[in-house]
Structure 1
Amino acid sequence: MQIRRTDLPFLVTAALAEGVGSSELGLDRGRLGKGRLAEFRRAGDRVVLVLTPKHHRASGDDAALRAGAESFADTALWSAPIIHQSPDGPVVDATGLALLDLHGVAATLAARGQGEHDLERDASHLIPDQVTDGPAGARLAARLTFRSARPGDAVSGVAPLPGTVSVVQHLHLVPLPEAPLTARHHHPDSGGYGIGHHDHGAPPDRGTEVILQPRFRIRVDRAGIPVEPVVFLVDPAIPEPWRSAVVEGGNWWGQAFERAGLPGAFRVEVAPEGTDLHDLSKNVVLWVHRDGRGWSHGQALTDPRTGEILAGRVRLGSQRTEQVTALAEALLAPYGHPEEAERLAVVRETVLRRLRRLAAHEIGHALGFMHNFADRAHPLPSVMDYPHPETTLTEDGVPDLTDAYHQGLGPWDHFLVAHAYGPDAPGPPPFPPRGTGAHLPNLADEDAQGPGAAHADGAVWLPHEVDPFAALDRTLAVRRAALDGFTRGVLPPHRQTGELETRAALLHLLHRHALTAVARQVGGMRYRYALAGEPSPREPGTEPVAAPVQWKALRRCADLLTPGELVLPDRAERLLTPPAIRRTRGREYLDTRAGRVFDPLSAVEAAAALVAESLLDPARLTRTAWQHATDPARPGPGEIVDALLDACWPRAADDDGGYGTADRPGVTPGQAALARRTAGWVVLRYLAVATGGDSLPPAVRDVVEGRLQTLADRLDPPAAAPAAGPPSATPDEDRASERRTGRRLRAFLAAPTTAGLGAPPRIPPGAPL
Structure 2
Amino acid sequence: MPGEADFIELLPDPELRSDRLLLGIRHFDEPFLLTVSLSQGLGSSDLWLDRGRAGKARLAEFRRIGDRVLFAVRNKHFLTSGDEAAVRAGDESFALSVVWSGPVLREENGVVVVDATGLVVADHDRVAEHLHAHEQGDYTIDESASLPLVADSRTGPRAVRLPALLTFRGPGRGRAVQAVAADPRAVTVVQQLNLMRLPATPLPVRRYHPASGGYGIGYADHGLVGRAGTQVRFQPRFRAEPGGDPVVFQIDPAIPEPFRSAVVEGGNWWQRAFARIGLPDAYRVEPGGAGFDPYEPGVNGVVWVHRAGRGWSLGQGLTDPRTGEILHARVRLGSQRVEQVRALGEALLAPYGRPDEAERLAAVEELVLARLRQLAAHEIGHALGFMHNFAGTGHPEPSVMDYPHARIRVTEEGDLDLSAAYGTELGPWDHYLVAHAYGRFGEGEEDTALAALRREAAEAGLTYVSDEDAQGPHAAHADAVPWVSGADALRALETMLRVRRIALDGFSAGVLPPDRQTGELEERAALLHLLHRHEVAAVARLVGGVRYAYGLAGEAGRGTEAVEAATQHTALNRLAELLRAEQLALPHAVLDTLTPPAIRYGRTEQYLDTGAGRIFDPFEAVRAATALVTQQLLDPARLNRVAWQHAADPAVPGVADIVDTLLAATWRRNDPVPGDLPGGAAVQHAADWALLDHLLALLDDTALHTPVRMSLRGAVRRLATELRCQGDEQAREAGELIRAFLADPGSVRLDPLPRVPPGAPN
Asked whether the two chains share a fold, i.e. TM above 0.5, the reply is yes
Task: Kindly provide the amino acid, as one letter, of the partner of residue 713 in structure 1.
Answer: T
Residue aligning to 2:513: 492
Q: Is the 8 A contact 1:472 1:511 kept in 2?
A: yes
Describe the SS at the equivalent of 1:226. Answer: coil
| Structure 2 unmatched ranges of 5 or more | 1-22
1:437 aligns with 2:445: no
Structure 2: which amino acid aligns with 1:166?
T
Opposite residue 735 of structure 2, the aligned amino acid is: G
Q: Is the 8 A contact 1:524 1:544 kept in 2?
A: yes
> Are 1:631 and 2:652 matched, yes or no?
no
Structure 1 consecutive aligned stretches of length 4 or more whose deviation exceeds 6 Å? none
Structural mapping, 1:71-470, within 5 Å: 71-149=93-171, 151-204=173-226, 206-218=228-240, 220=241, 225-424=242-441, 425-426=443-444, 428=447, 430-434=449-453, 436-438=456-458, 439=460, 440-463=462-485, 465-470=486-491
Distance (Å, rounded) in 1 between the aligned partners of 2:410 and 2:633: 29
Counterparts of 2:647 and 2:61 in 1: how far apart (Å)?
A: 57
Aligned AA (1:705): R
Separation of aligned partners in 1, 2:236 and 2:38: 23
Write the distance in 1 (CA, Å) between the matches of 2:612 and 2:103: 65
Corresponding residue of 1:579: 597
Does the CA contact (< 8 Å) of 1:312 and 1:366 recur in 2?
A: yes
**1:678 matches 2:686:** yes
Q: Distance in 1 between matches of 2:585 and 2:385?
A: 45
1:701 maps to which residue? 709
Distance 1:685 1:74 in 2: 52
CA apart distance, 1:110: 1.8
3-state SS in 2 of match to 1:702: helix
Distance in 2 between residues matched to 1:636 and 1:99, nearest whole Å: 59
Return the offset for 1:170.
0.3
Report how many aligned residue pairs link the two structures. Answer: 735
Change (3 A) 1:274 1:594: same
SS of the residue corresponding to residue 430 of structure 1 reads helix
SS in 1 for 2:244: strand
Deviations 1:653-702 (A, max 9, x none): xx4324xx23xx7315xx34322232233323433554435311122122
* Distance 1:179-1:688 versus aligned 2 partners, 3 A rule: farther
Whole-Å Cα distance in 2 between the matches of residues 565 and 102 of structure 1? 52
3-state SS of 1:138 partner? strand
Q: Is the 8 A contact 1:418 1:433 kept in 2?
A: no
Change (3 A) 1:711 1:163: farther
How far did 1:755 drift? Answer: 9.1
User: What is the alpha-carbon distance in structure 2 between the residues aligned to residue 755 and residue 50 of structure 1?
Assistant: 58
Q: How does 1:10-29 map to 2 (within 5 A)?
A: 10-29=32-51
Is 1:67 the counterpart of 2:89 in the alignment? yes
Q: 1:580 to 1:455 in 2, by over 3 A?
A: same
* Alignment-derived partner of residue 720 in structure 1: none
Q: Are the aligned partners of 2:269 and 2:425 in contact in 1 as well (CA < 8 Å)?
A: yes
| TM-score when normalising by structure 2 | 0.94
686, 691, 700: which one aligns with 1:692: 700
Contact 2:253 2:292 in 1 (8 A): no
Alpha carbons of 1:678 and 1:145: their partners in 2 closer, same or farther (altered >3 Å)? same
Classify the secondary structure of the residue corresponding to 2:37: strand
CA gap of 1:645–1:45, structure 2 versus 1, over 3 A, is farther
SS in 1 for 2:25: coil
Q: What is the alpha-carbon distance in structure 2 between the residues aligned to residue 15 and residue 106 of structure 1? A: 15
Native 8 Å contact 1:234 1:269 kept in 2? yes
Q: 1:92 to 1:433 in 2, by over 3 A?
A: farther
- Kindly tell me: are residues 628 and 341 of structure 1, through their superposed partners in 2, closer, same or farther at Cα, counting changes over 3 Å? same
Give the aligned residue type for 1:326.
A
Whether the aligned pair in 2 keeps the contact of 1:136 and 1:281 (CA below 8 Å) is no
**Structure-2 change in CA distance of 1:712 and 1:570 (3 Å):** same
> In the alignment, which residue of structure 2 is the partner of 1:739?
732
Of residues 551, 573, 587 in structure 2, which corresponds to 1:569?
A: 587
Match of 1:517 among 520, 538, 544: 538
- Asked if residue 768 in structure 1 is aligned to residue 756 in structure 2, the reply is no
**Are the structure 2 counterparts of residues 512 and 764 from structure 1 closer, same or farther at C-alpha, using a change threshold of 3 Å?**
same
Q: Quick one: structure 1 residues 680 and 118, their matched pair in 2 at CA, closer, same or farther if it must change by over 3 Å?
A: farther
Distance between the aligned counterparts of 2:543 and 2:509, measured in 1? 39
In structure 1, the residue matched to 2:496 is 475
1:42 deviates by: 1.2
Equivalent residue number for residue 666 of structure 1: 676
**2:547 corresponds to which of 504, 508, 526:** 526
Structure 1 equivalent of residue 576 of structure 2: 558
CA contact (8 A) 1:51 1:76 kept: yes
**TM-score (norm. length: structure 1):** 0.93
In structure 1, C-alpha distance between the alignment counterparts of 2:414 and 2:747, rounded to whole Å: 44
Q: Return the alpha-carbon distance in structure 2 between the equivalents of residues 666 and 311 of structure 1.
A: 62
C-alpha separation in 1, matches of 2:735 and 2:345: 44
Alpha-carbon distance change, 421 to 341 in structure 1, aligned in 2, over 3 angstroms? same
How many angstroms apart in 1 are the aligned matches of 2:58 and 2:736? 58
Tell me if the contact between 1:502 and 1:589 (Cα under 8 Å) persists in the aligned partners.
yes
Amino acid at match of 2:122: L
Is the Cα contact below 8 Å between 2:393 and 2:404 reproduced in 1?
no
Q: CA deviation at 1:87?
A: 3.2
Q: Which residue of 2 aligns with 1:588?
A: 606
**CA RMSD, 1 decimal:** 1.8
Aligned mates of 1:766, 1:686 — CA distance in 2: 21
Distance 2:556 2:653 in 1: 33
Map Cα deviations across residues 488-541 of structure 1 (whole Å, 9 max, x no partner).
1111111111111111111111100011110000000000011121245xxx10
Residue equivalent to 1:506: 527
Task: Choose which of 691, 711, 720 in structure 1 pairs with 2:719.
Answer: 711
Distance in 1 (CA, whole Å) between partners of 2:252 and 2:630 is: 43
The answer as to 2:670 corresponding to 1:656 is: yes
Q: Distance in 2 between matches of 1:147 and 1:738?
A: 56
Q: Could you tell me whether the CA contact under 8 Å between 2:740 and 2:747 is conserved in 1? A: no
Give 1:614 deviation, angstroms: 0.9
Helix, strand or coil at the partner of 2:322: coil
Cα separation, 1, equivalents of 2:700 and 2:170: 33
Paired with 1:385 and 1:429, the residues of 2 have a C-alpha distance of 28
Cα distance between partner residues in 2 of 1:351 and 1:686: 38
Task: Give the deviation of 1:264 after TM superposition.
Answer: 0.7
AA of the residue aligned to 1:278: Y
How far does residue 738 in structure 1 lie from its aligned partner after superposition?
3.2
Alpha-carbon distance in 1 for matches of 2:187, 2:696: 39
Separation in 2 of the partners of 1:589 and 1:468?
27
